[in-house]
């Protein structure tokens, strides 16, 4: 399924909703939203993954990029990620660096 990323900015967070399949052909779409979100210097980036079906290392690279944008004091939330995506985050040691939740209340 074609990958989409849409950004909503609130007072406290930049919320990017991901859907479809994130492979290297789609990573630029995600990075563009991260860049847009970063313009407001958010303390928190929330990545909504309930509709994300698949994520390759392209997604991991984008996470590194997102974390660089929020800085070491900022937080990245991973919300509603499917099992395969969570397993990838755990296997590569990314899980401790992000906040993993099933839901998020804006």
Partner 1 sequence: MDRLTVPGTLDSLDEIGKYVVRVAQDAGLDKRATYRLRLAVDELATNVITYGYERSGLSGDVDICTEIDDENLTVLIEDSAVPYDPTETPSPDDFDVPLEERPIGGLGVFLARQAVDEFRYERVDGHNRSILVIHRPVADMETQER
Q: Which of 7, 21, 29, 31 binds partner 1 (CB under 8 A)?
A: 21
**Interface stretch with partner 1, choices 10-18, 35-43, 44-52, 90-98 (CB under 8 A):** 90-98
If one asks whether residue 98 binds partner 1 (CB under 8 A), the answer comes out as yes
Residue 56 contacts residue 76 (beta carbons within 8 Å): no
String of contacts with partner 1 for each residue 28-57, x by CB under 8 A? --------------------------x-xx
Helix (H) or strand (E) holding 67: helix 57-70
How far from 7 is each of 3, 54, 62, 76, 83, CA to CA, in Å? 14, 19, 15, 14, 23
Neighbours of 83 (CB within 10 A): 7
Could you list the residues that contact partner 1 (CB under 8 A)? 21, 23-25, 54, 56-58, 60-61, 63-64, 67-68, 71-72, 76, 83-84, 87-88, 91-94, 97-98
């Amino acid at each position: 399924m074609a990958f989409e990323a849409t950004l909503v900015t609130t007072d406290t967070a930049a919320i990017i909703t991901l859907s479809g399949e994130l492979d290297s052909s789609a990573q630029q779409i995600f990075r563009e939203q991260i860049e847009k979100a970063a313009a407001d210097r958010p303390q928190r980036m929330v990545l909504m993954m309930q509709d994300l079906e698949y994520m390759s290392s392209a997604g991991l690279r984008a996470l590194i990029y997102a974390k660089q944008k929020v800085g070491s004091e900022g937080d990245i939330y991973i919300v509603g990620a499917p099992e395969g995506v969570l397993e990838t985050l755990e296997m590569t040691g990314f899980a401790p660096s992000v906040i993993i939740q099933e839901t998020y209340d804006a």
